[in-house]
Structure 1
């Protein structure tokens, strides 16, 4: 039996170029790539923050079956896949409160808020082949991106230019690995469109770890004039993955491929432990350039049908959310320098019926709890950047609010509990000095906050915990960035201190169910080093 991935890739694609220009060499274009983090629109070396960019060349170094290997090349970032389709993402230790899933990290897909109002991000619904590039902001990004102390992910799909074609692809490997891709792309100077169908399945290394995912990704971009751009994004995903459960050391040594055996509770196999979710996401972005300033406004809607047959119980929920984000940028002349002003806001609203049943061998039994969760959150933000000679100075802040309302229908009479968190101001100050055309030094101080998610207020115990307080954190950081040898050699180093108050951590009761508490303060100190060399 094969023990390593056997690549059986083939591609059948025909691409008709609309002109005689050859397809661009992505490795040669790396030096021209700009980052969008903190609305900067410039090279990463010129932004006073710890930012990592993973482009097509970075992700193509590894299998497109998973993002884990590519993301784990970034210093300070760790991605885990506990079983096929089940991810955890840690940016500078942000998984303290995440036994599973992606929390405390804000995500955006094509400029649209992808993290739902409850603070959960369905990263596992995205097939890696749908991504063109992603940016990772390390540390609190609350000054422009709202709640979250762990960091920010900015994900972008491909925007084809001056090409038209159909592509087919297949990847096969051990443990039943199969990936199918069908994509149609068409682009001109003023418009582009793409539609992808992506299928992935894997039997997994362990018993009870099979995964099947189907995804449709459609994007359309149209420049209606020299001033105006419209862009739409539509995602549909159908994901099923089994959850084998954890093993003790003795169980792992006896048989590392087994699923969690029966204890006082039935085994993972007996309970048919698995997660099934269907995901629909649609959004539209309008960008307009005025004479001296521009505005970008996005609205989106999201629907998730989620079922989790866990060992202890069986959860069903239907998550419905919508929201929007608007950003206005104004460039100004300031004597011998210049200034950029950015302002805007973000709003999200969500509603989710959550029912928890007894799990009878993978089927629902007696209803244990029945709740309806409503969430509203908002963020109003502003930022000023001054560019003077070799200096860049940045000052930004956001004003953030969040309200939960949980109605317990399984109690008689129905009980309504509401928690309105006090608004929080999250500032960020940063400065950067360009030593020369190759080296820059930066320092920043940022403050972030992260309220408890619905999964933490309403954990697997089924007991409401509305006493949880938001996490707040202060990040102090300094670093150096450099590029040499015609930008083939890149070196970065950062030192940071992060103090987190009201730290939310996971606990387990006697039956093994998770619940969450505030555990005081934590001090996190880190040193990050990164070096990369890319031959011409």
Structure 2
């Protein structure tokens, strides 16, 4: 606790000198935001749970827009790694959920424009997300299965651009270190009650390390049509083609000291990496029956063609054809009470995921004989009831959800016997939250929530026995979250959110490697964990031009009951989670168009394995970006420039948990640069 107190003092010391100037500054009032992450839209101060919101704003123009990580640093309780290994995707953890991921996003639900991006088995990826069109992020922290079902240790709602009332055309060019190139073009069209927005991006880079190239082309389209003020329909289309996503692999500490840019030799020899093509269609319809009742429906279809190569010979060439589709809807009714209101929402979500998975021998980059052929299915049906009751200065939130999950594996390669099988991993999850208005600008809140997380199909099919079918020993992870928080506004210039939480989990899913299969990740259940933490977020408007944002996260996450290979790991800290994480951002936006952003983050030392014998040392990283908005006739020209890792800090971009042979580390780039220009053209207002 001494470290916690010391970090809090350091954080306060950085804020308080600025706060002392408050009386001499001109006030800037913060807008109250309606947040949809709770499914029932709720004003920021009235929310009974810990939710972080982030709006991109004009500072988006100066970002490199290469990774979602650029937008997540300011969220307390959220820690991300692996922004620069494009074959593995960004690893996001919220209060420890998702930290285990060997690739993609696990344990955290991703929703983009109201359509789930996370598959029913809990796998998520954002390699098809167009970073440049993000308008707003909402992050619901902690177990939330009563709202979103499986793998909801946290929820990230991503909203892309949609609010425009005139035609526009935007173009952008970005160039950076390591031969990074990005070309962007977007346009919006308005006619009567119909609006459409189209956006395309092509990105390529050689990467900092050997064997770390990326090439990605993304196209996104959304069409909105208002039949009337009460009846609205929107349609979305997304296509991504990423033919190159190399994986340099993890290396040990000696290799890091020898050459930070080298790839693991086996990854180079086996040409480790992936190629992906994905198509996604979605639609939403909303109809207000009257002033108190409404219905909403959505449907989607996604197809993903994945080919991956991992650095092992026996079955290291993976071919995956995934079809994922689903549909959902809800009915909402608002009732007026003498001193408040009651909002009830009843809904359902149904989805099916089918993976046609084949594994072949990887003969050092050449596709070999078929080693596994099975069709895996995950079907889910979720039914939920939500109730928000508000009266006087109180808001009570109740939620209950039942998820029926059925998993099946059909073995198509019967030469070694039929390994087909089924699993039923259903779950019931409640939640309750309370918000009390201490004063109009200060609110106290508390909650109890639960979550469950099934092993994903890829985790179940990674059978340590080497057989086809599912690993019979893997079970679902359960979590129970208790939270107490205080948030509000101090004057017109400072708002804050302070939250404390305690989480108990059972059957944590933990990654590991085997000597017989180096480079391949398997999973097992730990007994239980105890997670205690504190999250603080502050935003201070120094003046109309200067603003300061800061967040601090304290995490004390330990294994409570975990015995493996006759070794008792009880009391050990969970790997890949720093006990302290601090982020500060100073932004300047002048009225004549100059904007500047200085961002600094501190990450405390954390462990890379369950034994707590390997560590990633503490590090500080500072980034700087600036741009200038040049107004033209119905246009704006924005040249911009940025420096990443301004202090040339040596640290790891990713840590591979429990990697065999000490190959935990993926070094991050030192100081590097980017710059470019964006052109924004606008037409006349309709």
Normalising by structure 1, we get a TM-score of 0.90
How far did residue 124 of structure 1 move?
2.2
- 2:613 aligns with none
1:354-411: per-residue Cα shift (whole Å, max 9, x none)?
A: 0011112322111111111111011100111111111101111101111111011122
SS of equivalent residue, structure 1 residue 269: helix
Contact 1:160 1:186 in 2 (8 A): no
1:410-467: per-residue Cα shift (whole Å, max 9, x none)?
A: 223544211112x321000100011122111100000111111112101286543033
Residue 477, structure 1, aligned to residue 486, structure 2: no
Contact 1:105 1:148 in 2 (8 A): yes
Distance 1:328 1:500 in 2: 33
Distance 2:29 2:442 in 1: 20
1:302-327: per-residue Cα shift (whole Å, max 9, x none)?
A: 00000111101110000001101212
Contact 1:378 1:401 in 2 (8 A): yes
Contact 1:40 1:47 in 2 (8 A): no
Contact 1:191 1:223 in 2 (8 A): yes
Distance 2:29 2:63 in 1: 20
Residue 420, structure 1, aligned to residue 424, structure 2: yes
Contact 1:448 1:473 in 2 (8 A): yes
Distance 1:197 1:452 in 2: 34
Task: Summarize the alignment of residues 265-276 of structure 1 with structure 2, pairs less than 5 Å apart.
Answer: 267-276=266-275
- 1:247 aligns with 251
Residue 522, structure 1, aligned to residue 529, structure 2: yes
Against the structure 1 CA distance between its residues 93 and 410, is the aligned structure 2 distance closer, same or farther, given a 3 Å change threshold? same
Contact 2:67 2:83 in 1 (8 A): no
- 1:257 aligns with 261
How far did residue 77 of structure 1 move?
0.5
Contact 1:96 1:505 in 2 (8 A): no
Count of residues in correspondence between the two structures: 503
SS of equivalent residue, structure 1 residue 143: helix
Distance 1:108 1:125 in 2: 13
- Compare 396-405 and 153-162 and name the one that shifted more: 153-162
SS of equivalent residue, structure 1 residue 497: strand
How far did residue 125 of structure 1 move?
1.9
- 1:493 aligns with 498
- Compare 493-502 and 510-519 and name the one that shifted more: 510-519
Against the structure 1 CA distance between its residues 478 and 32, is the aligned structure 2 distance closer, same or farther, given a 3 Å change threshold? closer
- 2:539 aligns with 532
SS of equivalent residue, structure 1 residue 125: coil
Residue 330, structure 1, aligned to residue 300, structure 2: no
Distance 1:283 1:176 in 2: 35
Contact 2:463 2:471 in 1 (8 A): no
Distance 1:402 1:75 in 2: 32
Distance 1:93 1:338 in 2: 36
How far did residue 60 of structure 1 move?
4.9
Residue 39, structure 1, aligned to residue 35, structure 2: no
- 1:176 aligns with 179
- 1:394 aligns with 397
How far did residue 106 of structure 1 move?
1.0
- 2:84 aligns with 83
- 2:409 aligns with 406
Distance 1:64 1:241 in 2: 17
Distance 1:32 1:481 in 2: 13
Unmatched runs of 5 consecutive residues or more in structure 1: 1-27, 262-266
Residue 385, structure 1, aligned to residue 388, structure 2: yes
- 2:582 aligns with none
SS of equivalent residue, structure 1 residue 528: strand
- 2:363 aligns with 360
SS of equivalent residue, structure 1 residue 94: coil
Contact 1:160 1:192 in 2 (8 A): no
- Compare 342-351 and 504-513 and name the one that shifted more: 504-513
- Compare 307-316 and 183-192 and name the one that shifted more: 183-192
- 2:233 aligns with 230
Contact 2:120 2:150 in 1 (8 A): no
Of the three residues 438, 443, 456, the one matched with 1:440 is 443
Against the structure 1 CA distance between its residues 205 and 252, is the aligned structure 2 distance closer, same or farther, given a 3 Å change threshold? same
1:114-168: per-residue Cα shift (whole Å, max 9, x none)?
A: 1112211121221211321111110111111111242011111111321102111
Normalising by structure 2, we get a TM-score of 0.71
Distance 1:37 1:61 in 2: 27
- 2:283 aligns with 284
Contact 1:103 1:119 in 2 (8 A): yes
Task: Summarize the alignment of residues 130-141 of structure 1 with structure 2, pairs less than 5 Å apart.
Answer: 130-141=133-144
Distance 1:127 1:322 in 2: 21
- Compare 33-42 and 314-323 and name the one that shifted more: 33-42
How far did residue 102 of structure 1 move?
0.2
- 2:639 aligns with none
Of the three residues 114, 118, 138, the one matched with 1:115 is 118
- 2:577 aligns with none
Contact 2:373 2:413 in 1 (8 A): yes
Distance 1:242 1:468 in 2: 30
Against the structure 1 CA distance between its residues 199 and 29, is the aligned structure 2 distance closer, same or farther, given a 3 Å change threshold? farther
Against the structure 1 CA distance between its residues 287 and 30, is the aligned structure 2 distance closer, same or farther, given a 3 Å change threshold? farther
Against the structure 1 CA distance between its residues 59 and 70, is the aligned structure 2 distance closer, same or farther, given a 3 Å change threshold? farther
SS of equivalent residue, structure 1 residue 95: coil
How far did residue 187 of structure 1 move?
3.4
Distance 1:153 1:232 in 2: 21
Distance 1:33 1:189 in 2: 28
SS of equivalent residue, structure 1 residue 48: coil
- 1:21 aligns with none
Distance 2:400 2:511 in 1: 30
Distance 1:491 1:61 in 2: 26
Higher relative contact order (CA 8 A, sep 6+): 2
Distance 1:335 1:97 in 2: 49
Contact 1:179 1:198 in 2 (8 A): yes
1:259-278: per-residue Cα shift (whole Å, max 9, x none)?
A: 002xxxxx211111111111
- 1:508 aligns with 513
